[in-house]
Every structure is written in structure tokens, then in C-alpha cells.
Amino acid sequence: MTVSARRSWMSVALCLAIVGAGAADANAYREKGKVAEIADSKMTVTPPRDWNRLDASPGKNAETWTLDGEQLNDITFYSGVEAGRPLVKEPDKKRQPLPKFTESTLLIEIPELLEGTYRAYKQIGGFSLTGSRPERFLRQEGVYFTYEFTDRDDLPRKGEARAALVGKKLYMISFDAPRLHYFDKTLPDFRALADTAKLGN
């Protein structure tokens, strides 16, 4: 067996090993067809299928949904992030500060903001932006972008996100999963969910 093949099999084995653990993290159902309010904000989604919302929130304006466990498919909503705040809760403000969203942050800088957050919060080294283009989100001018990174378990992951700036606040939905199998498997479900995102009054 080649080195490449061995690595692929090891990745599959790792994914399967964490399915059980990941499922235990899912704490609340988000039912198909029922409007769900995101992180006590104006943003809502109407899931086309059942999802699990994790009770452990990554931050004041964020929440995470999954189908099979956070390590296998992770959708994170960042809803109404205000200027001067990071995307997620800072574990250590002095020794491990996170990049902040600011009033001067532009749409084209949102991918860089997510990258900086991932590098510090998830403690990863390699992160590559693989694509970016203007795309409407929440009926506003927005940005769509794709990325790749390797997590702390040396598992290659791919991601996709949509973001918009509304009323000087940041709204974004990101999705990432292991590059092998789970990303392609869950991507249509993520896109269908993101398409339902709306802002109330």
C-alpha cells in the first residue's frame, strides 16, 4: 500500500472513530420545516431536514449545528457580531487574543477574519483561501468563499462560507468537514440550509 493510500485509510478510520463521540455532543434538535432563531438574533433559518444544535456555544453571537458530530460536519452561525468583538469567545484575552470585527472591516476582508480566528482559536497552522467572489446573502451584498485547512488531528478539511454586513454587524454561516467523504456528502445540506437564512425586523 502506498503512503498516500495509507493516509487516506487512516483519515477514514479517524472519521469513523469519532462518529460516536461526535453524536454525543449534539444536544438539541432543529426540526425540518420549523423556523429556528439563531443565537438570540434577528437571523433565522428554516432547515430542509433535521439538524442537531450543540448546546456548547462558541461565542455570544454564535452557535454550531451538525448532522453526524462536530468533527464530521460543522456549521457555525455568526449572527449580529458587533464592531470590536471577535467571532467567538476568547479563551485567553491576554495570551491568546483573537482578531476582531471592526466598523472598517470590508466584505473582502471577512475571509481573512475567519482565517485569523481559525488559526488562533482552533490552533491550526495551515489555512488556504481557495476561492472568493461577491454573492448576495440575506438579500444584501455579500461574499462567498471557500477554504482548506488541516486540523489539530492532522485531518485535512475543506470549508465554505457566506457572509454579509447588515447595520454595521456581521452575519456569516460557515461549513467545514473532513475533505475525504464528509465534505462532499454534507455540502448540499449546508447549501440548502444557508439558502433559507433570513433577517427579521
Identify the pLDDT of residue 127: 92
Q: What was the pLDDT predicted at 141? A: 96
Is residue 123 predicted with pLDDT exceeding 90?
Answer: no
pLDDT of residue 6: 44
Strands (E), the chain: 26-30, 36-37, 43-45, 51-54, 62-66, 74-81, 85-86, 100-101, 127-134, 142-150, 156-166, 169-178, 198-199
Class of domain 3-199: alpha beta
- Mean of the pLDDT values across residues 96-104? 93
pLDDT for the residue 56: 84
Contact indicator for 56, 25 with CB cutoff of 8 Å: yes
What's the confidence (pLDDT) of residue 29?
84
pLDDT, tens digit, 9 for 90 and up, residues 3-43: 444 444 444 444 444 444 344 344 688 999 999 999 989 99
What is the per-residue pLDDT across 141-184, written as a single tens digit (0 to 9) for each? 999 999 999 988 889 999 999 999 999 999 999 999 999 999 99
Q: Would you state the pLDDT for residue 37?
A: 94
Structure confidence by residue, pLDDT tens digits, 46-72: 999 999 999 888 989 999 999 998 889
Task: State the Cα–Cα distance between residues 57 and 40, nearest whole angstrom.
Answer: 12
Q: Which of 189, 122, 120 is nearest to 160 (CA)?
A: 189
Residue type, position 179, single letter: R
Between 56 and 73, the higher pLDDT residue: 73
How many C-beta neighbours within 10 Å does residue 2 have?
A: 7
Between CA 88 and CA 65 the distance in angstroms is 15
With beta carbons less than 8 A apart as the criterion, state whether 72 and 177 touch.
yes
Of the listed ranges 40-44, 95-99, 116-120, 181-185, the least confidently predicted one is 95-99
The residue among 11 and 96 whose pLDDT is bigger is 96
What is the reported pLDDT for 125?
Answer: 74
